[in-house]
Structure 1
Amino acid sequence: MRLLAAIAAWLPRAILTLAAIGLLNFTLIRLAPGDPAAVIAGESGAGDAAFMAEIRRDYGLDKPMPVQVGHYLARLATLDLGVSYRNNQPVMDLITQRLPATLILTGSALLVALVLGTALGILSARSRGGWLDVAVGAGAMFCYAMPVFWVGLVLVLVFSVGLGWFPAFGMVALIPKQGFAHVLDVAWHLVLPALTLALLHMAVYVRLARASTLEVLDREFVRTAHAKGLTESQVLRKHVLRNALLPTVTMAGLQIGHLLGGAVVIETVFAWPGIGRLAFDALLQRDYAVILGVFFLSSVLVVFANLATDLVLRLVDPRIGR
């Protein structure tokens, strides 16, 4: 019942948030320089005024801005994201074709960053002030400071061009594979882009897990557990780990948006066929319908990820929400 009550309280806020995001995105895109009708007319080789007026009428660009906003928000309520200005295909179809690739990339990167970052942060806290603590902290700072596209290019040069261990681009091999061989092929192509995206976010989890673990280790109930004769591993497993993971789980939900934003760069560097690459290409082509669709669906994913994070926290710690 507590979870259902949390969902019921979240739903109105989510609707208002998504409506505000849709309105803001639409307004900002329309204020950007460039006319999609001029782009389409120029590519077709018929840039006269009559043809451009017909294009504006077909895509609703001739209507006043408040009317366009109203029509756009009404379509969002039914998940109708419009039609691409470039190829006249439904935007929802274009996104759903690319979305699985992005979810695979961001999900893998989040898992790697969360597991490795948390483990290294706890180890760093347990050796407070030692060489391992210093080394892990320096490595985390280095990963966080490096531009993500530079890290990707370095990994390609070393592990693809130099050693030939992993492919440099794409999601699958040029010769299609079937069954389990296809899964292995995708995983093989996934290693470098997922690792590149994970390194940046792993540094955040290292610092957060270290700080939260040190805070828990200094609490009275941990000292009491040691006094009762529990071993270090028992104290860590029964008392420290659960309390130290709460801030990390919260951060995982908050970083979904950052992961989706970073996926734009990663998918461009590694030619990964996800929605980030779709948005980048649409931006270059001024395909505003696709840009708005990707932004809105990304916002939906972030909103639902925050809900999932809140529900997980309530399950892990029943005190939350009381």
Structure 2
Amino acid sequence: MLESASGDAVDAYVAGIGGADAARIAELRSEWGLDQGPAFRLRAYLSALAHGDFGWSTAFQRPVLGILLERLPVTLITMGSALALAFLLGIALGFLAGWRPNGWLDRILSLGSLALYAMPGFWLSLVLILVFSVTLRWLPASGFETMASGKAGLERAKDIAWHLVLPVSALGLLYMTLFLRLLRDGMEEVWHADFIRAARARGVTGWRLALNHVARNALAPVITMLGLQSASLLGGSVVVESVFAIPGFGRLAAEAVSRRDTPLLLGVVLFSAVVVIVMNLLADLVQAWLDPRIGASERVA
């Protein structure tokens, strides 16, 4: 898609420096390999990738692999924190909603989650900045950490955590609603199962019944969604990281598109695919641990 768009990396570079003559433009295209056709460049890229070379970033004038390795920790910290917030808050509120399906608390939480899910990511981010950074002045409005602060160790970790409160909240709240609805709907279905009636007949009631029997059996699809949502979270981070100026993969992908940097964009996609695969593998392992029948069925098959 990026190759079919009008213009190329040289056009974006020349526009950024204020222009250049035709000879310099032709020289840059030859130097960056853009004077060759897309098929030739694809073959060259795949050949280099097979040897561990992710190419050269025309936007940053550096090897793509080095840029990706610099941004990867930021992405893992931001995405992991947002996913943990979304999951933990989602199952907590989903449990409360599924405790009494169609009750007053369930209706309030369902209506609130629906309204939150309908909010665009950039709008929620701007509202959080306006309230907590501009009006209350409690939290920083942008950045991953304080620039040139000289902090290290625990002090740096605290500074990073302080800067990530708003972006992680913006990402986490948007995806929390999915986990809430999944657990709530799953619990409503499990309440009518035969083994729940059998548990009640044995005298199991109250929180013990809801936690150990209803919620645990309704948690499997939520764990599956945890792995699947890692891909959506990476996509949603493009907007949030751009608003909060977080130097992660999301903002890097946006910069690669705007500056027509195809090798950099492909590198972001490949690294993101690896992250999503690992997240889905971990989700499958957790699901097998929660429900031993899954692992048993696979061994039988």
TM-score in terms of structure 2 length? 0.91
> 1:12 aligns to what?
none
> 1:192 aligns to what?
166
Aligned partner of 2:57 among 84, 96, 101? 84
Aligned partner of 2:41 among 68, 76, 88? 68
Once the 2 structures are TM-superposed, how far is the Cα of residue 41 of structure 1 from its aligned partner?
5.1
User: Is the counterpart of residue 135 in structure 1 residue 91 in structure 2?
Assistant: no
Q: Which residue identity lines up with residue 272 of structure 2 in the other structure? A: S
Aligned partner of 2:285 among 298, 311, 320? 311
Once the 2 structures are TM-superposed, how far is the Cα of residue 283 of structure 1 from its aligned partner?
2.0
Once the 2 structures are TM-superposed, how far is the Cα of residue 53 of structure 1 from its aligned partner?
3.7
Q: Which residue identity lines up with residue 115 of structure 1 in the other structure? A: L
Residue by residue over 1:246-285, the C-alpha shift from the partner in whole angstroms, topping out at 9 and shown as x without a partner, is 0000001001111111111111111112121122222222
Q: Which residue identity lines up with residue 256 of structure 2 in the other structure? A: A
Stretch moving more, 242-251 or 74-83: 74-83
User: Is the counterpart of residue 114 in structure 1 residue 114 in structure 2?
Assistant: no
> 2:10 aligns to what?
37
Percent of aligned positions that are identical: 45
User: Is the counterpart of residue 282 in structure 1 residue 256 in structure 2?
Assistant: yes
1:1-322 correspondence to structure 2 within 5 Å: 28-40=1-13, 43=17, 46-49=20-23, 51-174=24-147, 175-320=149-294, 321=298, 322=301
**Structure 1 residues 291, 309: closer, same or farther in 2, change over 3 A?**
same
Residue by residue over 1:7-66, the C-alpha shift from the partner in whole angstroms, topping out at 9 and shown as x without a partner, is xxxxxxxxxxxxxxxxxxxxx2211211223444563854324x4343333323233332
Runs of 4+ more than 4 Å apart: none
TM-score in terms of structure 1 length? 0.85
5+ residue gaps in structure 2? Answer: none
Distance 2:281 2:61 in 1: 34
Stretch moving more, 301-310 or 148-157: 301-310
5+ residue gaps in structure 1? Answer: 1-27
| Matched residue SS, 1:34 | coil
Distance 1:46 1:129 in 2: 66
| Matched residue SS, 2:3 | helix
Distance 2:58 2:132 in 1: 39
**Structure 1 residues 319, 190: closer, same or farther in 2, change over 3 A?**
same
Distance 1:74 1:218 in 2: 57
